[in-house]
Amino acid sequence: MPGAGTDKTKRWIEQPGPIVVLVEPQLGENIGAVARAMANFGLSRLRLVKPLQGWPNERAKVMAAGADRVLDNATLHDSLSAALADCTFVLATTARNHDQAKPVVGPDAAAAEMVPRVSSGETVALVFGRERYGLENHEVGLADRILTLPVNPAFASLNLAQAVIVVAYEWFKASGGELPFTMPEKSPPAPKQQLEAFFGDLETELERVEWFRPEEKRGTMVVNLRNIFTRMALTQQDVRTLHGVIMAIAQGRKGPARGGVLDPAEAQKLRDLIAEQGTERVLQERAPVRGLARLLRRNPTEAERTLWRALVNDRRFAGRGFKRQVPVGPHMADFVSFPLRCVIELVPPGEAEDAVRARAGRRQWLAEHDYRVVEVPADAVDKDIAAVLDGLAAKVSAL
């Protein structure tokens, strides 16, 4: 597997470029780092003027990290004049003002000048000075342009390879270098029809939880919500994913068929069935106790949902230990406090005779086991939840 950013299976860029000239480089490691910077941006011609540690240099190869072809083709020269003998356009890089009447350019402007000259066949050179003090005045005098970088004036000295890589980057960019990769387009943009279906389901689920409040601001809220997703420029896969997320939240983690959220009418039918058959029989024959309790908790009726929210938000019931839809012996309680040994049962209107008999049997069993049962008409919850809570608080406080 190739290393970070290095892939030998790809073609090495071979195109005309400026020559990099290093004047009396002090360390082999710096030469190697320069070679690596050159290879990063498609430069291959390196000329060395009297390197202080001699040449070739093993430390340079280690630091080049694979840019060996740049080092292998490097040429040695006795003087800067000799290194520039065949060049027609020279830029001297320096961080100091040499007080010479020469145009001073930055790396982007230098690249803009070099590209057409190299393309027309000219030999262009970039000259970099010594690590310690850079180029001398007479060396800068050989150049056509002075190249300097916009840096902190209080700390303008760059590492040799850093200076090379900044200039090489600007050259490569100006000469047509492109990003090596872009974001993959694995899914086409979402059509408006798909977005409308997503918005429809999203708004339906938000309606169910009464998110659009106050009502007079509903139109503005819908428009703002749609604009959020429209600005994202969603793909078809994005919309499918978001659609799935919304429906999973609305319907439950395992979906409707495995214990999701039923609508109020379906939730009431479930409780009617359990009441008619008898809780004990249902628990024994139809479902494990924990599974049925989980199913009922995840599918509350409207009256049960309203009463539970009111209970948990009323300080009078704080710390009383009430739970919703948990087994009490062979029976399933709507609400129970084991510390108080108190069961609250919601009584739906118009119960069938079998349900009435099952409720009476359940109440008898609970009384025999020292549970107090408080029955609350479901329609009373819808009509006046405050009155229901006051009545429950009075009965609970007496326990």
Q: What is the pLDDT of residues 340-371, one digit of tens each?
A: 899 999 888 887 787 788 888 888 989 998 99
User: Would the pTM of this model clear 0.85, i.e. be above it?
Assistant: no
- Confidence band of 2 (pLDDT split at 50, 70, 90): very low
Task: Parse the chain into domains and list their residue ranges.
Answer: 19-174, 192-251, 264-397
Is the CATH code 2.60.40 the one for domain 192-251? no
The residue whose two tokens read 């929210």 is 309
pLDDT tens, position by position, 36-88: 999 999 899 999 999 999 888 899 999 998 888 899 999 999 999 999 999 99
- Confidence band of 252 (pLDDT split at 50, 70, 90): low
Count Cβ atoms within 10 A of the Cβ of residue 85 and give its class: 0-12 exposed, 13-18 middle, 19 or more buried: exposed
The residue whose two tokens read 């599974």 is 291
Q: What are the backbone angles phi and psi of residue 242, rounded to the nearest 5°? A: -65, -40
Looking at the domain that runs over 264-397, which CATH code has it been given?
A: 3.40.960.10
pLDDT at 226 over 80: yes
pLDDT at 160 over 90: yes
- Answer yes or no: same fold for 192-251 and 264-397: no
Residue 196: predicted pLDDT: 92
What mean pLDDT value characterizes the chain? 84
Task: Count Cβ atoms below 10 Å from residue 16 Cβ, excluding itself.
Answer: 15
Q: Where are the beta strands (DSSP E) in 266-355?
A: 322-328, 331-337, 342-347
The Cα 63–Cα 42 span in angstroms is 18
Q: What percent of the chain has pLDDT over 90?
A: 44
Q: Which of 18-32, 273-287, 319-333 has the lowest mean pLDDT?
A: 273-287
Residue 357: predicted pLDDT: 83
What is the rounded (10 degree) CA torsion for 225, 226, 228, 233?
160
Mean pLDDT on 320-346: 86
> Residue 62: left if φ>0, alpha if ψ -120 to 50, beta else—which one?
alpha
Q: What's the start-to-end Cα distance of the chain, in Å?
A: 73
CATH fold, domain 19-174, is: Alpha/beta knot (3.40.1280)
Higher pLDDT, 305 or 125: 125
Mean pLDDT on 3-18: 67
Total residues found in the chain within this entry: 399
Query: Minimal CA–CA distance to 65: which of 47, 42, 43, 38?
Result: 38
Instruction: Starting at the earlier edge strand, list the strands of the sheet with 342-347.
Output: 322-328, 331-337, 342-347, 372-377
Q: What are the backbone angles phi and psi of residue 31, rounded to the nearest 5°? A: -65, -45
What residues are paired with 124 via a beta bridge? Answer: 89
Q: Which amino acid would we find at residue 82?
A: A
What is the rounded (10 degree) CA torsion for 290, 263, 357, 285?
-40
Residue 147, classed as helix, strand or coil, is strand
The Cα 64–Cα 33 span in angstroms is 5
Higher pLDDT, 274 or 180: 180
Mean pLDDT on 331-340: 86
Residue 255: predicted pLDDT: 42
